[in-house]
Amino acid sequence: MTQRTALVTGGTGGIGSAIVRYLAGQGHRVATNYRNAEKAEAWRKAMAAEGIEVCMVAGDVSDPASCEAMVQAVEAKCGPVDILVNNAGITRDTTFHKMSYQQWTEVVNTNLNACFNVTRPVIEGMRARKWGRIVQISSINGQKGQYGQANYAAAKAGMHGFTISLAQENAKFGITVNTVSPGYVGTDMVMAVPEEVREKIVAQIPVGRLGRPEEIAHAVAFFTTDDAAWITGANLAINGGHYMGW
């Protein structure tokens, strides 16, 4: 397999760490962003102890200027970004009639506007080199909606609209653009949900358990291969059968 440079946003998180491991295992140079240098250094050391060297760059995906600098730093350290995984994300849950403008904009900026902020600085290079793989990590709740998540569901659904437009514009340049929509995976984001709510969620999952980060990473990694060159504009739902729509 050709060794490429992959940028995984939010690589220090639960799903992000699994994606970083998987892409590194395929021989790629992998970079990720951080906001808290101390926390990032502890994570980097833990990955290094597993034999995985990750290129760490400062960057806030909700801030366009920060993302420009982040991509420049990755490309200076590791070479042109050929694989981009827009994975960083947050929730700020509450019912819409109680939602503040800040809760709305934080979620839209971090999940959806981040796709603009990070993809814009890498897309021209991919087009010039005639090869690229872009994967958005959306969510089951962008497909089906979710009580208390109007902000998150809107942002995550928007990521798929972004995917299919970008896929059309860039198909002739050897660039594929796809979305992965995970169901509930046992990371910090989901473990923060009260246990009784989690039990109700699991009861709705036909496979009968939460997902594992590796099960998302495996699919993301497949989209980034040469063998997946004819898959573009797709949305892959990985949710234990929790939602079987588009």
Q: Which residues are catalytic?
A: 152
Among 31, 57, 61, 83, binds ligand NDP (CB under 6 A): 61
User: Cα separations (Å) of 57 from 69, 180, 185?
Assistant: 9, 24, 26
Q: Which range of residues in 14-22, 48-56, 194-202, 224-232 is near ligand NDP by CB under 6 A? A: 14-22
Among 184, 220, 221, 224, binds ligand NDP (CB under 6 A): 184
Q: Where are the beta strands (DSSP E) in the chain?
A: 5-8, 29-34, 54-58, 81-86, 132-137, 175-182, 235-238
Question: Cβ closer to ligand NDP: 34 or 131?
Answer: 34
Restricted to residues 66-85, the positions that interact with ligand NDP (CB under 6 A) are: none
CB of 120 to ligand NDP, least distance (A): 15
Question: Cβ closer to ligand NDP: 128 or 197?
Answer: 197
Helices 213-223 and 14-25 meet at what angle, rounded to 10? 50
CB of 174 to ligand NDP, least distance (A): 26
Largest CA distance in the chain: 51
Is 89 one of the binding residues for ligand NDP (CB under 6 A)? Answer: yes
Q: Among all residues, whose Cβ is closest to ligand NDP?
A: 13
235 and 179 in contact (C-beta within 8 Å)? Answer: yes
